[in-house]
Structure 1
Amino acid sequence: MDKPFLNTIMTDADADRWIYDRIDYERVRPRKASTHFRLERVERLLSVIGSPQKRIPAVHIAGTKGKGSTAAILDSILTCSGIRSGLFTSPHLHQFSERMRVNGRMPDRARLTSMVADLQQRLQQADPEIVEDGPTYFEVATLLGWMYFDQEQVEVAVLETGLGGRLDCTNICRPLITIITNIGLDHTHILGDTLEKIATEKAGIIKSTVPVLTWTRQPEARDVIIRRASELNCPLFVGGEDIVETSDCGNEPSLHSGRSSESGSSSAFDDSPATVKFAAAAVRSHGQTFSVTTPWGSHKNLALPFSGDHQRRNAALAVAAADFMSQTEARITPESIQQGLASAKWPLRFEVMEHEGCCVILDAAHNPDSIAAFLTTLNQQTSRQQFRILIFASSQDKDAAQMLSQVCSEFDLILLTQFQKNPRAFPTAVLRTLLQTACEERNASNASAHCVPEVVECCTPQAALERAVKATTHRVDSDTTARPTEPVLNATGTPVICGTGSIFLAAELRELVAGTVT
């Protein structure tokens, strides 16, 4: 049960208590049949603040992986185009107000407290049936986000779904275009245990006749999206590696547009195909350049400050969405698209930092697919000859066994820990057992794998980071002045410290590395 509302919110502490006393499904594993997952409930709550979602058009983004990056890139493009863009994302890394931004600016502390006090008063005065059981934590975040966008006269809201899509709080909106990024197995206890079931939940954000962009690579998930778009008569733009065009830079995935056939087959389109295709031009230690062609425009040598092949796909979706919107919004230009990509920021996506002379890579990967993408990027940007250290933690509702199986042969030292600010962390003893099993299975199936990393349990992320830094001192010259002043990924002999397995772990490590522990 939620705790009773405070009668009056006077201070920042009052506001924080009012927010954090709500039921928080980011901290407590939700029950599948929870009555909180009802859109009519969310719509009633939004009516308390004047239903701003009816006035502010949106770009709605769902997916298992990449939706946050895609949202951040598109928001940056819109901002650089001179459009008042609102960005709503979750979860936050360091402070609650990160979830809502207008042209990159989140509400300051006083502004957030004022909005919370306003919302609290409105809910107190509302019909009791509207606020049954009290709003949940995510419902409060959604309401505050829409309040902030309304007050700041936002022209377009870029909305990242929180969980799934069909019953997500963000699904009460009027989208200009819908984006579904790649889909994988995650939150299976809520969304279903197959790609088809999860895709059905994600496809629940599709609205009648609203164009749909997707780069969903798995055929079984892609077909679900195609069928749903066909049922709702939506123009559809589908990417996948079964649709390949030859370009000057080789064979690359392309985005195929049209309306799906009545049979729902992913290989049949009624219209002549247009394509969105990207090609890598260069990979840098802190990003990459690439080119994109969409049905509405062509963009060459775009600079993207994010690493990884998967981030090119996310960026291609954002560029395609911006190109589509440019047909009715003259402020979006090739120049503003280029500027928006170059200036995009989204922490913990293969984020390279320096800490006490060490190269630290932090990534929010938290399921097998995103771990695979992280490892691909790591092996592109570093050498296996380098001494690699992994700091790992995982939530109990994630497939930690599979993730540990993936990483066990890629690192020389694995430090198992528990994040401190969320109660869902696996105990380190459990992780050690899972890791031992993973190594044994890997060695049994592949004699040349030689999966025997050193494993240490650390009670906190801080202890793990300190242990990692100490380990690097045995791998470099004793003269610390020889250490690089900037992080160097692929320098021979340079140790690399990685932190991944959970966004909560990566966020806590980021605070430690940046020296901004909250």
Structure 2
Amino acid sequence: MSSKHSHNRKYQAAVSKLLSLADFERKSRANDPVDFHLQRIERLLSYLGNPHQEQKYIHVAGSKGKGSTSAMIAWALTENGYKTGLFTSPSIHKITERIRINGDQVSEIEFACLVDDLWPAVQRVQSDGDIGSVSVFELETAMAFYHFTNALTDISVIEVGLGGRLDSTNIIDPTISVITPISLDHTAILGNTLTEIATEKAGIIKPGVPVVTSPQPPEAINVFSTKAKQLGSELIKSEHAVKIKTKEDLDLDGTIVDFQIDTDLIRTHIKLLGDHQIDNARTAIATIYQLSSAGIGTVNSKTANGINKVEWPARNQLVTTSPFKIFVDGAHNDASAKVLKSSIEKIFPDRNRLIVVLGTVSGHNPTVVARELETLNPIFITTESRHPKSLSCSELAEAFEASKISIEGTYNNTLDAISHAKHIASKGDLIVGSGSLFVAAEIIEIEQNIKPELYPDIRLAQSPKSQK
């Protein structure tokens, strides 16, 4: 057996072992008690020698843009010469994407070794019998901390998985906390109002630790301001700290922006598409600038170069231009759908028809994105992704029918859905894939011939199925 084949088998075994744990990201909570707390991650890390302690972190929460902002911060720090860890979720094509150093994802063999090295501690927590079993995300969080510590990173950027207050990542004492825009999302868990959701996100604000915020709804910024004041934490509003002096729209090549912070000008080429990425970059720059007071110095030109290098797939991504333009984005709620609509109108003003391939996962209303895009007169094709929580054909059809939104076709797999979209498309039409990051990811894989990483719990279409 070749060494490469042996390593791959070890990796697949490690992924299976990891996914054997409670996986709230991929499986329904319907039959599980609401059991969010920090006791398990605290105990797991204690059994590992608390690898998260005595490290420098930037902690990033938010409803929108937290992944892109985290990546911009991490790439900027890497460009400035710091060995920088980055922990994000969900992954787009491969689970190793979640743990990176200097932009490079952990290798398959490193991933497998991390699972194996930490597994005795996982079993020890379970055998304790008093706080339940470690979840997938808890173990992934511990793996990231363990890996970054062993690799001697200078600083690590940690993206919150869900919420903030009770998220597994909220075990760290960060150098800076960051909160990107808040919107109504995961309402069944975080609350039904912006104030309730902001209160959960504000849980990452720590005593005396500066917090940088992106532009926020009034309800959210009021919560953050109050919490920061209570804890003696400086609150830096990125839109006040970093001014936009000039913008040059380069269409599909992104935007060149001159930012000003104090008396410094920072010219940045943001290749990620959409006006919201300008706000994300501004938040990243405000965060980087704030680090100087913690002894982490940076050079503006290097920060700009780092942001310029960021690639963050499935977020306003142009996948292909021939024979049709195919554009994907993981928009799944009303706020992100508004951003998607704005991006379509601005980036593709001369499009002919708009064909939308849309699918979502349970917990999100599929018609929210559809209703937001309706004024663009789209043709809707619905699909199921491989994700085990994906809404089925019948669930999607029922939701659209109840909202009186017509569907051109419904498919139980993304390959058939995107194939139908291309079949009915004409020159000048725009095909958009959205509703979830998982649909966006599958379209990228199909169009760019990326081999998907398949897990035991995925939903595979047994045979092509269409309802028209």
Same fold (TM over 0.5): yes
2:392 alignment counterpart: 427
Aligned partner of 2:376 in structure 1 is 410
Match of 1:509 among 433, 440, 443: 443
Aligned-partner residue type, residue 431 of structure 1: L
Which has the greater radius of gyration? Answer: 1
Report if aligned partners of 2:44, 2:121 keep a CA contact under 8 Å in 1.
Answer: no
CA drift at 1:107: 1.5
Structural mapping, 1:51-450, within 5 Å = 51-124=50-123, 128-129=127-128, 132-238=131-237, 254-255=239-240, 275-284=241-250, 285-295=252-262, 298-329=264-295, 331-354=297-320, 357-383=323-349, 385-420=351-386, 422-439=387-404
Q: In structure 1, what is the Cα distance between the partners aligned to 2:50 and 2:196?
A: 31
Q: Structure 2 unaligned segments of length 5 or more: list them.
A: 1-7, 453-468
| Paired letter, 1:459 | N
Q: Structure 1: state its 5+ residue gaps.
A: 1-8, 240-253, 256-274, 441-452, 477-493
Q: May I ask how many residue pairs the two structures share in their alignment?
A: 444
CA displacement 1:194-234 (0-9 Å, x = unmatched): 10000000000000010011124210111011100010011
Question: Which structure 2 residues correspond to residues 443-458 of structure 1 after superposition, within 5 A?
Answer: 455-458=408-411
Does the aligned pair in 1 maintain the 2:331–2:337 contact within 8 Å? yes
Structure 2 CA distance for aligned equivalents of residues 37 and 437 of structure 1: 34
Q: Give distance in 2, aligned partners of 1:144 and 1:366.
A: 29
The structural deviation recorded for 1:454 is 5.9
8 Å CA contact 2:125, 2:134 repeated in 1: no
Secondary structure at the counterpart of residue 159 of structure 1: strand
Summarize the Cα distance change of 1:454–1:41 in structure 2 as closer, same or farther, 3 Å threshold.
Answer: closer
Q: What CA distance in whole angstroms lies between the structure 2 residues aligned with 1:353 and 1:116?
A: 33
One-letter amino acid of the structure 2 residue matched with residue 288 of structure 1: T
Partner AA of 1:21 in structure 2: S
**Partner Cα separation in structure 2 for residue 148 and residue 236 of structure 1:** 31
Which secondary structure state, in structure 2, belongs to the residue aligned with residue 170 of structure 1? coil
- Aligned residue identity for 1:159: I
Q: Is the CA contact 2:126–2:133 (under 8 Å) kept in the aligned structure 1?
A: no
Decide whether aligned partners of structure 1 residues 467 and 33 sit closer, same or farther in structure 2, where only a CA change above 3 A counts.
Answer: closer
RMSD: 2.2
Percent identity of paired positions between Structure 1 and Structure 2:
29
**2: CA distance, partners of 1:31 / 1:226:** 35
SS in 1 for 2:409: strand
| Residue identity in the other structure for 2:418 | L
Aligned to 1:5: none
Alignment CA distance shift 1:219-1:331 (3 Å): closer
1 CA distance for matches of 2:31 and 2:289? 38
Report the CA distance shift for 1:469/1:280 in structure 2 as closer, same or farther (over 3 A): farther
Q: Per the alignment, in what secondary structure is the counterpart of residue 53 of structure 1? A: coil
Structure 2 SS opposite 1:230? helix
Alpha-carbon separation, structure 1, partners of 2:436 and 2:309: 26
Q: Distance in 2 between matches of 1:11 and 1:131?
A: 31
Q: Which amino acid aligns with 1:455?
A: E
Post-superposition offset of 1:131:
8.3
- Answer whether contact 2:126 2:134 (CA < 8 A) is retained: no
CA contact (8 A) 2:165 2:201 kept: yes
Structure-1 residue corresponding to 2:418: 465
Q: Displacement, 1:11?
A: 2.6
Name the amino acid aligned to 2:256: T
Give a deviation string over 1:322-358, Cα, whole Å, max 9, x none.
1111344465101111111111121111111216522
Structure 1 residue identity aligned to 2:325: C
Match in the other structure for 1:486? none
Whether the 8 Å contact between 2:380 and 2:409 is mirrored in structure 1 is: yes
